[in-house]
C-alpha cells in the first residue's frame, strides 16, 4: 500500500527584492506573435459553462480530484466546481490575498497567502492556518492526511492535515534568486518529490529524510538570472518514468524509483510538461511546441505555428495536446504530429496555469478570472 492517495516568469530575491525578468535591461523586446494558423476542425469541442473567480496575478493553479476542480483568485476567492455540470459546490472569500494554490485531495484544500500563511479549507470553511518562515510560490500538496509545502527558501515542510501542526522540515541551501512561479512538489508512491534548485529530491513523507537526489539542471551563464535552474511545476509520469523541466536549461526523464537519469536534452522553456506512454510534450519560451520520444528523448515533432504566443504548459487530452496562450485562445494539437486540430476562444486575457481535465470536462482559467468548461465531443 502506498502512502499517498491519489508569460515570462518573475524572479524573487528572498526577503530582499522582487524583479520582473521582462524588465531586465538585457531582455529583448517581445517579438510579434505568429498569425493564428488555420485549424483542421478534426476535434469538436463545445463550451458548456462559465464562472468567474477574480483576477489571477500570482502563481495559482487549479486542483482536480475526479469531477471536481478548485480554483482561486489572487484577491482571496476560492471556489470548488463540479466540472460535469458547472455547479458551484462552495465558494469562500479569504481575508488575505493568495500567493500560491490550490492544492487539494477532494476533501481538504490548501492555499498560501501573501502573509506567509498556509490556509486549510474543508467544506468551504477555514479549518486551520499555519505561519511559514518564507513565502511560497508552489501550491501545497495535500496527500496522505498531510499538507506539504515548498517555500522560496528551498524548505519542504510537512503539516498535519487535521490540525496544521508542523511534523517536520527539510531544507537545502541554494542561490538567493528563485523563480516567482510554481516549483515541483508531487507524490510518487511512498515518496515525496521536491525540486531544490536544479536537483530533484525524493523524501520520506513520514520523516523528511532524503532517499535520493539527482542533478537535472546545472547552473550556466555569468549572472544570477542566467544561472537560475529551478525545476518547474508540471511533470509527466508514466509508470516509473518521470519527465521534468529545469527552467531554461533542460528536459529530463528519470527512473523515479531510484533517481537514475534516463535521458536529458537541452531546452529553453519555463513551463511544465505532459505526456503519454510514447511521447513527452512541452512548449519552449518562444512558444515552439516539442514532442520527445519518452524512451530515448529523441525529437518526434516540432510545431512552430504558435511562435511567441505565450503558451502555457500542455495537457494531454484524448488525441490532442491542449495549450492556452496569452490572448485567451485554447489550442488543440495532434499528439501524433502536432497538426493544429482546433482552437477555442475565452475572454481575451491570458490563460493562466495550464488547462486541466476534470472528468470529461476541460477547464481553463484566465488572467481576469474567467473559468471556462469545455466538453470535447
Domains and CATH numbers, the chain: 34-57+270-377 (2.130.10.10)
Q: Percentage of the chain with pLDDT > 90?
A: 84
Of the pLDDT bands very low, low, confident and very high (cuts 50, 70, 90), residue 13 is very low
What is the phi/psi pair of residue 22, to 5°?
Answer: -65, -20
* pLDDT confidence of residue 219: 63
Look at 25-39, 62-76, 194-208, 332-346 and tell me which has the smallest mean pLDDT.
25-39
Angle (CA) 66 320 336, round 5°: 135
User: What's the average model confidence in pLDDT over 2-22?
Assistant: 42
pLDDT of residue 319 exceeding 80, the answer is yes
Average pLDDT, the chain: 91
Q: Look up residue 249 and give its three cell numbers.
A: 536549461
pLDDT of residue 78 exceeding 80, the answer is yes
Please give the Cα distance from 137 to 337 (Å, whole number).
34
Q: Kindly report whether the global pTM for this prediction surpasses the value 0.95.
A: no
Q: Contacts from 76-82 at CB under 8 Å and sequence distance 24+?
A: 76/113, 77/53, 77/369, 78/102, 78/109, 78/111, 78/121, 79/51, 79/53, 79/371, 80/109, 80/124, 81/51, 81/363, 81/371, 81/373
* pLDDT confidence of residue 229: 78
Of the pLDDT bands very low, low, confident and very high (cuts 50, 70, 90), residue 175 is low
* pLDDT confidence of residue 8: 41
Instruction: Please answer whether residues 344 and 329 qualify as being in contact, where contact means their C-beta atoms are separated by less than 8 angstroms.
Output: yes
- End-to-end CA distance of the chain: give it in Å, rounded: 37
Instruction: Please answer whether residues 185 and 193 qualify as being in contact, where contact means their C-beta atoms are separated by less than 8 angstroms.
Output: yes
What is the phi/psi pair of residue 21, to 5°?
Answer: -60, -35
Instruction: Please answer whether residues 42 and 360 qualify as being in contact, where contact means their C-beta atoms are separated by less than 8 angstroms.
Output: no
Look at 7-11, 50-54, 152-156 and tell me which has the smallest mean pLDDT.
7-11
pLDDT of residue 181 exceeding 70, the answer is yes
Closest among 322, 332, 326, 288 to 310, alpha carbons compared: 326
Of the pLDDT bands very low, low, confident and very high (cuts 50, 70, 90), residue 292 is very high
* pLDDT confidence of residue 29: 74
Q: Look up residue 141 and give its three cell numbers.
A: 500538496
Q: Percentage of the chain with pLDDT > 70?
A: 89
Q: How far from the centroid of its chain's Cα atoms is residue 363's Cα?
A: 14
- Please state the three-class secondary structure of the chain as a single string: CCCCCCCCCEEEECCCEEEEHHHCCCCCCCCCCCCCCCCCCCCCEEEEEEEECCCCCCCECCEEECCEEEEECCCCEEEEEECCCCEEEEEEECCCCEEEEEEECCCEEEEEECCCEEEEEECCEEEEEEECCCCCCCCCEEECCEEEEECCCCEEEEEECCCCCEEEEEECCCCCEEECCCECEEEECCEEEEEECCEEEEECCCCCCEEEEEECCCCCCCCHHHHCCCEECCCEEECCEEEEEECCCEEEEEECCCCEEEEEEECCCCCCCEECCCEEEEECCCCCEEEEECCCCCEEEEECCCCCCCCCCCEEECCEEEEECCCCEEEEEECCCCCEEEEEECCCCCEEEEEEEECCEEEEEECCCEEEEEEEC
Instruction: Please answer whether residues 92 and 125 qualify as being in contact, where contact means their C-beta atoms are separated by less than 8 angstroms.
Output: yes
Please give the Cα distance from 157 to 174 (Å, whole number).
17
Amino acid at each position: 500500500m502506498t502512502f499517498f492517495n491519489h508569460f515570462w516568469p518573475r524572479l524573487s530575491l528572498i526577503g530582499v527584492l522582487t524583479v520582473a525578468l521582462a524588465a531586465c535591461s538585457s531582455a529583448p523586446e517581445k517579438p510579434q506573435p505568429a498569425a493564428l494558423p488555420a485549424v483542421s476542425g478534426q476535434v469538436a469541442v463545445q463550451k458548456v459553462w462559465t464562472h468567474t473567480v477574480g483576477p489571477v496575478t500570482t502563481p495559482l493553479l487549479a486542483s482536480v480530484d475526479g469531477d471536481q476542480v478548485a480554483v482561486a483568485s489572487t484577491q482571496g476567492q476560492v471556489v470548488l466546481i463540479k466540472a460535469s455540470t458547472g455547479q458551484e459546490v462552495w465558494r469562500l472569500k479569504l481575508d488575505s490575498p493568495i500567493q500560491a494554490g490550490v492544492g487539494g485531495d477532494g476533501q481538504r484544500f490548501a492555499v498560501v497567502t501573501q502573509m506567509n500563511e498556509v490556509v486549510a479549507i474543508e467544506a468551504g470553511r477555514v479549518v486551520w492556518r499555519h505561519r511559514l518562515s518564507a513565502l511560497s510560490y508552489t501550491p501545497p500538496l495535500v496527500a496522505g492526511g498531510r499538507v506539504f509545502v515548498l517555500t522560496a527558501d528551498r524548505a519542504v515542510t510537512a503539516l498535519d492535515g487535521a490540525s496544521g501542526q508542523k511534523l517536520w522540515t527539510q531544507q537545502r541551501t541554494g542561490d538567493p534568486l528563485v523563480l516567482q512561479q510554481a516549483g515541483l512538489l508531487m507524490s510518487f508512491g511512498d515518496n515525496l518529490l521536491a525540486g531544490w534548485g536544479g536537483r530533484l529530491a525524493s523524501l520520506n513523507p513520514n520523516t523528511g529524510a532524503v532517499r535520493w537526489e539527482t542533478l537535472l539542471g546545472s547552473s550556466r551563464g555569468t549572472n544570477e538570472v542566467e544561472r537560475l535552474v529551478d525545476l518547474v511545476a508540471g511533470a509527466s509520469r508514466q509508470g516509473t518514468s518521470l519527465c521534468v523541466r529545469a527552467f531554461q536549461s533542460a528536459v529530463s526523464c528519470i527512473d523515479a524509483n531510484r533517481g537514475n537519469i534516463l535521458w536529458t536534452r537541452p531546452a529553453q522553456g519555463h513551463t511544465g510538461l505532459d505526456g503519454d506512454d510514447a511521447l513527452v510534450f512541452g512548449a519552449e519560451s518562444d512558444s515552439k511546441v516539442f514532442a520527445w520520444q519518452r524512451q530515448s528523448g529523441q525529437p518526434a515533432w516540432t510545431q512552430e505555428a504558435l511562435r511567441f504566443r505565450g503558451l502555457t504548459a500542455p495537457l494531454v487530452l484524448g488525441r490532442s495536446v491542449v495549450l492556452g496562450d496569452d490572448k485567451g485562445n485554447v489550442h488543440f494539437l495532434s499528439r501524433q504530429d502536432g497538426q493544429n486540430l482546433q482552437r477555442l476562444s475565452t475572454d481575451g486575457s491570458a490563460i493562466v496555469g495550464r488547462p486541466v481535465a476534470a472528468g470529461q470536462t476541460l477547464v481553463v482559467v484566465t488572467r481576469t478570472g474567467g473559468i471556462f468548461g469545455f466538453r470535447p465531443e
